[in-house]
Amino acid sequence: MNGEDINALAEKMQFELIETHISWILLGSDEVYKIKKPLKFSFLDFSTLEKRKNLCEEEVRLNKRLSPEVYIEVVPIVSTNDGMAIEQSGDIVEYAVKMKRLPQEKRMDILLINNNLEKEKIVEIATIIADFHSKVETINDPGYGSSMTVKNQIDDLGNFREVIEKSCEFGKKVDLILERSGKFINENADIFDKRQKHGRIKDCHGDLHSANIFVLEDRTVIFDCIEFSKDFRYIDVASEIAFMAMDLDAFGRYELSEIFVDEYISKTKDTELRTLLNLYKCYRANVRAKIAAIEYSQHPNNEAKKRIEKYVDLAERYAKVL
């Protein structure tokens, strides 16, 4: 399926269509269908129907850990005499993750924009994640969370230097980020080994930021974890915490960022986490810049350019204090 097929399907169903760098999302009044784009990058492979089906199934399985009421099932998209259809009889051409729709106005990033998020909710999120980390699988494979793995993940930003330079002339900032991050990692390789041995590498959420959290009156729902790469999910819990902290920094809510980190550490007693916090914040800003660069390369636009600038600047700020 391509963009034209998806547009036609959305119009037929009278659903709102949202496009991300790797997915098409159809929003109905009560349900959501998430469809993976047939893409292949250095960090994911959605290139075949079989792979997309398997990853849809993995997405449902993994996300039921934190939001079982949201993720329903994997459903087929079929070709019929009347065009494409979801959950009907016909030749299967694609698969989608079927989800329950939650009120968009309660999404955490929107609440932050509207300055409508209480600090008690940040404490609640830190508590949820601390409990989640205590229950998920500990990853003992030394290949995950190692200094070399983290350096390679950070260095991947260099693959997008050309796009970043073309969009906003921030290529030299990328160079500084990679140079300072690499130097820190090389000088502190023993810390990464120590944390791996002490069970700090977990099967995490992997994409913990405010757009993936709904703050409802009776509960907080965390969804949309990484399903397509164990490298991004089998990580140090410090990396997970740094993503949320960086995101709050990006909104200018530094006090909430500090509360989140402090509460998580108070629950887990992982005081060593602070040693790696700025590095992982730098990496997480790096990731957001990379996503914006991918979007810009697909559809050059000013909004993506602004996000590249925002997150490269933020990553540079963290890198300078490493």
Q: Are 83 and 9 a contacting pair, CB within 8 Å?
A: yes
Given a cut of 50, the residues of the chain with pLDDT beneath it are none
Around Cβ 269, how many Cβ atoms within 10 Å? 9
Residue 310 CA: distances (Å) to CA of 170, 198, 276:
11, 35, 22
Which pTM does this prediction carry? 0.91
Looking at residue 4, what is its pLDDT? 87
Q: How far is C-alpha 58 from the chain's CA centre?
A: 16
Looking at residue 3, what is its pLDDT? 82
- Please classify residue 267 by burial: count the beta carbons closer than 10 Å to its beta carbon, then call 0-12 exposed, 13-18 middle and 19+ buried: middle
Q: What angle do CA 243, 208, 125 make, to 5 degrees?
A: 100
Around Cβ 143, how many Cβ atoms within 10 Å? 13
- Could you tell me the fold of the domain covering 3-101? Phosphorylase Kinase; domain 1 (3.30.200)
pLDDT digits (tens, 9 = 90+) for 173-210: 999 999 999 999 999 999 999 999 999 999 999 999 99
Intervals of CATH 3.30.200 along the chain: 3-101
Q: Are 204 and 235 a contacting pair, CB within 8 Å?
A: yes
Write down the H helix ranges in 156-272: 161-168, 171-187, 189-197, 230-233, 237-250, 254-268
Q: Are 17 and 24 a contacting pair, CB within 8 Å?
A: yes
At 141, the amino acid letter reads: D
Looking at residue 83, what is its pLDDT? 85
3-class SS of residue 29: coil
d(CA 52, CA 48) in angstroms, rounded, equals 6
Q: How far is C-alpha 145 from the chain's CA centre?
A: 17
In CATH, what class is 108-320?
alpha beta
Intervals of CATH 3.90.1200 along the chain: 108-320
Q: Which residue is it, tokens 């993940």?
A: 153
d(CA 57, CA 118) in angstroms, rounded, equals 35
Beta strands in the chain (DSSP E): 16-19, 23-27, 31-36, 71-80, 83-86, 91-100, 201-203, 213-215, 220-222, 234-236
Looking at residue 41, what is its pLDDT? 86
Q: How far is C-alpha 204 from the chain's CA centre?
A: 11
